[in-house]
Amino acid sequence: MKRRDFVLLLGGAMTAARALRAQQMAMPVIGFLHFASPDPAASQLADFRQGLSEAGYIEGQNVAIEYRWAENHYDRLPGLAADLVSRKVDVIVAVGNRSALAAKSASSTIPIVFMTGIDPVGEGLVASIARPGGNITGLSFLFSDLHPKRLELLADLLPHAGVVALLVNPSFSSAGSVIHGVQEAARAKGMQLHILKAGNESEIDAAFATLVQMHADALLVGSDGFFDSRHEQIVTLASRYSVPTIYSWRLYVDAGGLISYGPNLMAVTRHLGIYVGKILSGAKPADLPVQQPTTFELVVNLKTAKALGLTIPPLILARADEVIE
């Protein structure tokens, strides 16, 4: 090869390398902050990426994602959020109540999109639902409003049930309002309600063992990200102790749980990705209203009902969005 050709080839390679580095540097970076660990959140992450792709962003092609997992150790979240801020990511996705609060405390300038079950206004995340203000917006479930409805479904499912238990995570900031709402609903139904608390795996085991001593006819599992990350453990224990149980998400029913009532998690997480895509395309969080689900799904597992010796009332079957056989 002639020297002139070699120099031209080398120059072309260097130019291409510089262009590639410039493209990589220009690629926006999402900081993904999650309270749990990657494996339980795998399907959730796939739905998030689907929403991103619908907004025109594909990981590894025109957007990069920095993942930070707290592994259910909530005390790690502030440090993980601060690390993402130090890396100057373009937007922070905060999944879970504590993640959202940690992200908000870490930055008042980087756009933040949360997915949480707490009241975002009451907890000080946003100024209002319609106009969040500042650098943060997202999706909120307001789970405390749904638990009384779940208790009513239990009463319809088990009309002779007199004793019901509610499992809550005491670390959940809205645990008090959840308990209050279910207590009011139980009182209206003439049911005796026991409160069980669990904030780690061993306490979940202990809570189910206590159900036997209480002679509980049914169990309502409170909405909490930690419980969701341990949904297989909870479903297995409900089966082992033969306790009819109602849950917030269909992922429990898919894993063998009896019945669930709540938002479609796939649709919500997909919309989270769409919202992040809008911000990457120039939208400001202050102008994007906090989204709240308007449709809810009732899912019933007939195989589990049969194992428990239960006959699902026709009214519930008629209302169910999906029946797993």
In the chain, the domains with their CATH numbers are 3-141+266-287 (3.40.50.2300), 144-262+296-324 (3.40.50.2300)
Reported as a single tens digit per residue, the pLDDT across 129-147 is 999 989 999 999 876 678 8
Strands 297-301 vs 259-262: parallel, antiparallel or unpaired: antiparallel
Q: Which of 1, 71, 58 is closest to 30 using CA atoms?
A: 58
Q: Distances from the Cα of 293 to the Cαs of 53, 131, 140, 167, 300, in angstroms?
A: 21, 17, 8, 23, 20
Angle CA(176)–CA(179)–CA(181) in degrees, nearest 5? 110
pLDDT at 19: 46
What gap in Å lies between CA 211 and CA 180, rounded to an integer? 20
Q: What pLDDT score was predicted for residue 5?
A: 52
**By mean pLDDT, which of 139-143, 285-289, 315-319, 320-324 is the weakest?**
139-143
Task: List, for residues 30-41, the tens digit of each pLDDT value.
Answer: 999 999 889 878
Helix (H) or strand (E) holding 196: strand 192-197
Which residue is it, tokens 């026991």? Answer: 194
Give the C-alpha distances (Å, rounded to integers) separating 80 from 35, 73, 99, 255. Answer: 10, 11, 9, 31
Average pLDDT over residues 272-276: 97
Strands of 198-248, DSSP E = 218-221, 245-247
Q: What is the DSSP string of 247-264?
A: ESSHHHHHTT-SEEEE--
Closest CA to 261 of 160, 184, 162, 146: 146
Rounded Cα distance, 4 and 243, in Å:
81
Residues 6+ apart with CB under 8 A from 170: 197, 199
| DSSP β-ladder status, 91-95 and 29-34 | parallel
Residue-wise pLDDT tens digits, 171-227: 877 788 889 999 999 999 999 999 999 999 999 999 999 998 899 999 999 988 889
